[in-house]
Amino acid sequence: MKVPALPLDGDTIVAVSTPFGVGGIGIVRISGPAAEKTAAQLFHPKTPSERFTSHQFYYGHICDPRDNSVVDEALMVLMRAPKTYTREDIVEIHCHGGALPVRRILELVVSRGVRPAEPGEFTRRAFMNGRIDLVQAEAVADIVEAKSATALRFAQRQLDGGLSQEIRGVRETLKDLLMEMEAWLDFPEEDLPDPDFDRIRGRIEEMIGAVRELSATYAEAHLYRDGVSLVIGGRPNVGKSTLLNVLVGKERAIVSPLPGTTRDYLEESVVLAGIPVRMIDTAGLREDAGEIEARGVAFARRQIETADFLLYVVDATRLESERWGRVADFAPAGRTLVVINKIDLVPAAALESGMGSLPPGVPRVAVSALYRTGIENLGEEIERQLTGDKLDLDSRAVITNVRHRQALERCLDALERAAGQASARPVPGDLLAADLRHALRALGEILGETTPEEILRGIFDTFCIGK
């Protein structure tokens, strides 16, 4: 796999691959040409051996070579290249998980001339050495950062190569068409027949359909990776805090019959229908608030304006007095769900009559947060509003990364231009070939084959150290 030249200086690197702090186990990972030599200097196996066997654990002790004092009891495994994560020699030292033994072992490894790893450098080496492509490298970070089971499933599928395979299929078709065009353009003296431009246009249109379909998965799939911000808003004393407590499954907010109890905002992260949700409870919206409460109201409005989604809570006993015109002034259009709360206080006939005052077309769900009535329906409606027309995301590759979507959009623009060039008579061959190259380059950026170095650095800098 051809990749841009990030500097791999041949150094051996080391990092702690488990979180610092108290734990059952700590792992110090070494990768590079001096990994085995370093392990031999520090690790004393219980049963002495002239040569370590690759991919086999050994029991023994890590000792300080200056005085042979024992630092910690440990397991050591050597994995020789190329059958390793980085395709370099790798050593892992598994010690007790206290902060002190892990740090002491790390310091000893560094004292042997091994360099501390940069963020994501192990995965960067795996990418540069051709073990994985850039899509799979990004999937590693997504697995570590996954906030829901669905996001984890998408990332694992991406790591398995499903998305890469689909993109490579389009690239191979593009390469074939480009080679055909370039042969025709570069060797006019060979008197080659004109390409079948109708066939070429048909192939381009097939690729446009495939790229557009793949790009369309981002709108829904990225929610499971990136999550959404969901604000609970409404007038004072309509049950916003009670609803927050029910949705997060614990007493997160103070509940009181007195209006204005919530003056600041409360935030809690939950997973609703597989989507990570940052849920924000805000102060009640009213105009006659005191100075301190007014600050909370102003902040609530700002939160609503920037929210991905709004649950606007209303009191079922005061439906007809709700001023919907003012709600529309700040509620995000197309991203608002009205929650009619306290339905336990209203007869069914009165509730139906009151709901007639709601503006037409506004989605709504009736609940009693106090008695948890209708909460399941609310969760289903939130999912439906967030995902829209639900795609079949379990049977195909999906796009969850905005970088991938942007590259696909550039590819799509180039392909649409190319289709137009192939339809013209006479066909501007140079322009058609140039558009095919642009499309090919955009897909190469996704896989890491034509990705600028500064983008590569930016991607791996977001990784944790030790991965």
Q: What is the pLDDT of residue 293?
A: 56
| Residues 266 and 328 both lie in one domain | yes
Q: What is the pLDDT of residue 126?
A: 97
| Residues 32 and 58 both lie in one domain | yes
With a cut of 90, say whether residue 270 has pLDDT above it: no
| Residues 234 and 354 both lie in one domain | yes
The answer as to whether 1 is a domain residue is no
Secondary structure (3-state) at 269:
strand
Q: What is the pLDDT of residue 319?
A: 83
Mean confidence (pLDDT) of the chain: 87
The answer as to whether 296 is a domain residue is yes
| Residues 341 and 244 both lie in one domain | yes
Supply the CATH number for residue 428's domain.
Answer: 1.20.120.430
| Residues 20 and 104 both lie in one domain | yes
CA dihedral 131, 135, 139, 145 (to 10 degrees): 130
Q: What is the pLDDT of residue 259?
A: 46
245-261 residue pLDDT tens: 898 886 654 444 544 44
**pLDDT band at residue 68 using 50, 70 and 90 as cut-offs:** very high
76-113 residue pLDDT tens: 999 999 999 999 999 999 999 999 999 999 999 999 99
Domain hosting residue 20, numbered range? 13-132
The answer as to whether 348 is a domain residue is yes
The answer as to whether 36 is a domain residue is yes
Supply the CATH number for residue 41's domain.
Answer: 3.30.1360.120
Overall average pLDDT of the 201-211 stretch: 97
| Residues 383 and 300 both lie in one domain | yes
Q: What is the pLDDT of residue 213?
A: 94
146-194 residue pLDDT tens: 988 889 999 999 999 999 999 999 999 999 999 999 988 887 766 667 8
With a cut of 90, say whether residue 411 has pLDDT above it: yes
Q: Total domain count for the chain? A: 3
The answer as to whether 429 is a domain residue is yes
| Residues 290 and 437 both lie in one domain | no
The answer as to whether 200 is a domain residue is yes
| Residues 63 and 182 both lie in one domain | no
**pLDDT band at residue 443 using 50, 70 and 90 as cut-offs:** very high
The answer as to whether 150 is a domain residue is yes
| Residues 437 and 358 both lie in one domain | no
Higher-pLDDT residue of 411 and 451 is 411
| Residues 232 and 376 both lie in one domain | yes
From the number of C-beta atoms within 10 Å of its C-beta (0-12, 13-18, 19+), residue 279 rates as: buried
Helix (H) or strand (E) holding 182: helix 162-186
| Residues 306 and 430 both lie in one domain | no
Report percent pLDDT > 70 for the chain. Answer: 87
Among candidate residues 89, 92, 103, 164, the one with its CA nearest the CA of residue 134: 164
Supply the CATH number for residue 345's domain.
Answer: 3.40.50.300
348-386 residue pLDDT tens: 888 888 787 777 777 889 999 999 999 999 988 988 888
Strand order in the sheet with 228-234: 266-272, 275-281, 228-234, 309-315, 336-341, 364-366
Q: What is the pLDDT of residue 253?
A: 46
The answer as to whether 242 is a domain residue is yes
pTM score, whole prediction: 0.85
CB of 176 within 8 A of CB of 204? Answer: no
| Residues 250 and 196 both lie in one domain | no
